Structure 1
Amino acid sequence: MPSPPDADFLVLTSRLAPRLDGGYAVAVASRLRLLRSIGVTRPLLLTFDVGDADERAREIRHALREDPEGDIEMRNLYEEVVRDPSWLYEQAQEGGADPATAYRAIRDDAGAEVVSLPVIRDDPDWHLTRTPVIVRGERGSRVLAGFRALYAAWLTRVVAELRARAGDDERSVVVICESKQIGELIAEWVDPNVRIVHTVHNSHLAAPCRPSAPLRDDGWRRWLGLLDRFDAVVWPTPSQEDDVVERFGAHEGFAAIPTPIAPGLEPPARAREGTDVVMVNRLVDQKRVDTAIALWPSVVARVPDARLHIYGDGPLRSALQNLIEERGVSGSVHLHGYSDRVREAMATSAVFLCTSIFEGQNLAIGEALASGLPVVAFDVCYGPRDYVGAGGVLVAPGDTDGVASALTALLTDEGAREEMSERAREQSLLLTLEAVGETFTRLLEDVVARPARR
């Protein structure tokens, strides 16, 4: 495998919280492990969330599955502001708070207010506000023009520190941005030696997911309008890249590179002889877990001892539990909530089920394939269509009878299940660190070799 370019590498994410963000957090953690696997020394993770520092550290350690050798450096914007606000105060301008806006105070350990953040309620575009951020100091209060200026001040400081540490004022810095919101805010970052590589985690299209479908929301619309500002964009599947190129045009630096997955666990002897079906996803509308619950009675009618185990949490948990009871399947459908033992559940289940109406990549499908777990999913863009292959059965979107029949066939035919299990493991080889690493390294080499796009 080629060596990575001589540069510092930053990974930007709003937060890293597997219990809240499911597959997104897993993908960010996987990106950090990918950087380490290709030879990047101590990639730096930057987070921008306000919260308890100890809880944040626990979440990050959990997402990274521990970091005993200190191979990944981690920093948080607000922890650094609280620890030493003087650098931010010096970058702020004269001004005051907006009297019509509520503010959230960020305080130091002594209870003194250090920064006050505008609270923009019920607005998905809160990050674009230019409402002043207030910075407190011994000489009074100063302001920054919204979160864009706040983030820019911190990133400029971080990059300057990295260059000072390397003794090179022109050292290349590669910023891997995992969040569209952050990407919008840094798209105009002008530094000839900074390169921005933006990753994508989900479909840009509303359901039904066709190339001509409407965009999911204005956030996607704005972000797609910024494609020429990023030095590279990493799409999780070739088909999503193709659809974007067809509709919005090609851009230098586009690449289809999946998020790699870790090897699966070896199942215990005769584990696949059971009739357990497993789902792993957040309990949100996109995943349509209600569809799985609604079709489950027809599976149980044909396979009476079948059990559906659903791992993951989210805002629909109570509604889904009510649906389970209404459908009379509380004895065979179980909501387990968030769990760090999903891989063990995959190793002892017979089939993996995905009823999403659209996807980006769907890391849980990749983990299922790596565990030798046959996948049954709707044939939706983009992840199932690109990566299930011979390792499962894809059913026409909305065909719940087809899903029930596919599940029944796999649960009742041990030979077919074993054969598909082997094909699932073969299919998962496309998603290993080794398979992804060389392509990712060459992308980084190309990005550093080209002039910055901003």
Structure 2
Amino acid sequence: MHRETVFLDDSPKVAWYSYLTGCGAAYFIQWVDDSGKPVDVFVADSRDSNAYIRYSSLSDAQENWFHSEVAEIGAPVTVMLDDCTMASVVKNLTSTGVRKIAIYHNDHTTEAHRAMNDAMSSWDVVICSTPGQAKALRKIVPQELRVTSISQPIPDAVQDLSGSSREADKFAFFGRLTSVKNVIPLVRSFTEVLKCLPGASLDIYGEGPLEVELRKVISDLQLRGNVRLMGHTDEATVRMRDYAAIILPSSFEAFGLVIGEAMLNETPVISFDSDYGPREIITHGVDGVLVPPSDFSALAKSVVQLGMDPEFARRMGKEGRRTVLRRFNSDVIMAEWEKLVDDLYRSGGHL
């Protein structure tokens, strides 16, 4: 499905948005008022190809769609929600035989998750990616609500590592260029790395709102020869194989999929010991390196240590791959999900 924007005649003002199916038919249309605010929604009537049903808002349309789908499928139905914008819609599903699972993939304390948190009493189970976050969530949910963790699977898409061109003094960052990822302080701290490893390089993969400021910092610190902005890549797991280590200085990582992907490619990760994923995935000094949060001096020292001891980095990388294959393979994670859903229905919705 893709969106088509329709403008008023000879005007830059939007009249409506049409969401089209692959064959070009308008599945639903959202009108826009004079201020640019979306208003009425018209959804194609599945019973009449020439008719549309009018709703006062997108959430009303979504709620109607959910109820009609549940009625058509019949009990039992499991609804898994990981989209905060749909929380109020799913909250109102009260049909017998419906089980509702809320999934947190990110920081539950942010404003973005308020709708999910406000609907807590309506969930049957709350799932997050790590035991650490599950423990934190239990402090804010109703006592009778079960909170548990199921890790994200890390598919083993690596076929052959023999062609990697790993270099001892090449490092990389993969992630959004945002404040929570601490990419600007990372670049500043890389000047300390260069004092011990003058030929070291840092490649930064990703896009985000801090890109302009980041370019200025790199220029002001005269790091253009050592720090490169690589932009977005669809081949992150392949590129990771070329580096001595991946650096992850985030203030928060609910899981940290990039950690697992790097480890799977035998590339060790140097990460802050931040909530919650890094400390759940990495065993410090065995299959990766954990650094006290916000300690960029210690982070730089860890980068230097791996850069000066490529054999240690190699052993750590191999151990990291073994960790991922043992703990985060798809079969293991899927079995956990199947057991959870089975238990949910066997218990009548209360675990």
**What is the TM-score with the length of structure 2 in the denominator?**
0.83
> Shift of residue 381 of structure 1?
0.2
Q: Which residue matches 1:329? A: 223
User: Is the Cα–Cα contact under 8 Å of residues 129 and 254 in structure 2 kept in the other structure?
Assistant: yes
Q: Separation in 2 of the partners of 1:368 and 1:411?
A: 17
**Residue aligned with 2:260, SS:** helix
Q: Which residue matches 2:3? A: 51
Pick from 293, 300, 312 the counterpart of residue 397 of structure 1: 293
Q: Separation in 1 of the partners of 2:332 and 2:24?
A: 50
For 1:348-387, list aligned pairs within 5 A: 348-387=242-281
Is 1:411 the counterpart of 2:307? The answer is: yes
Q: Pick closer, same or farther for the CA change 1:446–1:120 going to 2, 3 Å.
A: farther
For 1:217-232, list aligned pairs within 5 A: 217=111, 219-232=112-125
Identity %: 23
Q: Which residue matches 2:18? A: 106
Q: Pick closer, same or farther for the CA change 1:113–1:187 going to 2, 3 Å.
A: closer
Task: Give per-residue Cα distances to partners, 1:388-419, cap 9 Å, x unaligned.
Answer: 12321111111111000000000111232122
Q: Separation in 2 of the partners of 1:192 and 1:113?
A: 29
Q: Separation in 2 of the partners of 1:385 and 1:119?
A: 49
Task: Give per-residue Cα distances to partners, 1:140-168, cap 9 Å, x unaligned.
Answer: 9974242221101222343445x3xxxxx
Q: Pick closer, same or farther for the CA change 1:276–1:107 going to 2, 3 Å.
A: closer
For 1:58-207, list aligned pairs within 5 A: 104-106=16-18, 115-118=29-32, 132-133=40-41, 143-161=54-72, 163=73, 170-204=74-108
Q: Pick closer, same or farther for the CA change 1:264–1:379 going to 2, 3 Å.
A: farther
In structure 2, stretches of 5+ residues that fail to align are 5-13
User: Is the Cα–Cα contact under 8 Å of residues 84 and 115 in structure 2 kept in the other structure?
Assistant: no
Q: Which residue matches 1:8? A: none
The amino acid of 1:116's aligned partner reads Q
In structure 1, stretches of 5+ residues that fail to align are 1-48, 53-101, 164-169, 205-214
Task: Give per-residue Cα distances to partners, 1:219-241, cap 9 Å, x unaligned.
Answer: 42342232221222211100000
For 1:244-323, list aligned pairs within 5 A: 244-263=137-156, 265=158, 266-268=160-162, 271-323=165-217
> Shift of residue 299 of structure 1?
1.0
User: Is the Cα–Cα contact under 8 Å of residues 354 and 375 in structure 1 kept in the other structure?
Assistant: yes
> Shift of residue 387 of structure 1?
1.1
Q: State the aligned residue count.
A: 333
**Residue aligned with 1:246, SS:** coil
**Residue aligned with 1:350, SS:** strand
Q: Pick closer, same or farther for the CA change 1:250–1:353 going to 2, 3 Å.
A: farther
> Shift of residue 193 of structure 1?
2.5
**Residue aligned with 1:315, SS:** coil
Q: Which residue matches 2:338? A: 441
**Residue aligned with 1:174, SS:** strand
Q: Separation in 2 of the partners of 1:113 and 1:419?
A: 54
Task: Give per-residue Cα distances to partners, 1:275-328, cap 9 Å, x unaligned.
Answer: 211211112222121121111111122112211112122222222222211221
The amino acid of 1:407's aligned partner reads V
Q: Pick closer, same or farther for the CA change 1:136–1:293 going to 2, 3 Å.
A: same
Q: Separation in 2 of the partners of 1:303 and 1:120?
A: 59
User: Is the Cα–Cα contact under 8 Å of residues 282 and 313 in structure 1 kept in the other structure?
Assistant: yes
Q: Pick closer, same or farther for the CA change 1:107–1:413 going to 2, 3 Å.
A: closer
User: Is the Cα–Cα contact under 8 Å of residues 150 and 337 in structure 2 kept in the other structure?
Assistant: yes
User: Is the Cα–Cα contact under 8 Å of residues 2 and 19 in structure 2 kept in the other structure?
Assistant: no
Q: Pick closer, same or farther for the CA change 1:409–1:190 going to 2, 3 Å.
A: same
User: Is the Cα–Cα contact under 8 Å of residues 267 and 348 in structure 1 kept in the other structure?
Assistant: no
**Residue aligned with 1:357, SS:** coil
User: Is the Cα–Cα contact under 8 Å of residues 171 and 201 in structure 2 kept in the other structure?
Assistant: yes
RCO comparison, higher one (Cα < 8 Å, 6+): 1
User: Is the Cα–Cα contact under 8 Å of residues 358 and 381 in structure 1 kept in the other structure?
Assistant: yes
Pick from 136, 154, 157 the counterpart of residue 243 of structure 1: 136
> Shift of residue 202 of structure 1?
0.8
The amino acid of 1:147's aligned partner reads L
Q: Which has a greater percent of strand?
A: 2
Q: Let me know the Cα RMSD of the aligned residues.
A: 3.2
> Shift of residue 248 of structure 1?
3.5
Task: Give per-residue Cα distances to partners, 1:175-221, cap 9 Å, x unaligned.
Answer: 222211112321111221222222111122xxxxxxxxxx322x423
Task: Give per-residue Cα distances to partners, 1:3-49, cap 9 Å, x unaligned.
Answer: xxxxxxxxxxxxxxxxxxxxxxxxxxxxxxxxxxxxxxxxxxxxxx8
Q: Separation in 2 of the partners of 1:347 and 1:292?
A: 21
The amino acid of 1:423's aligned partner reads E
**Residue aligned with 2:138, SS:** helix
User: Is the Cα–Cα contact under 8 Å of residues 264 and 371 in structure 1 kept in the other structure?
Assistant: no
The amino acid of 2:59's aligned partner reads R
Q: Pick closer, same or farther for the CA change 1:297–1:426 going to 2, 3 Å.
A: same
Q: Separation in 1 of the partners of 2:288 and 2:34?
A: 45
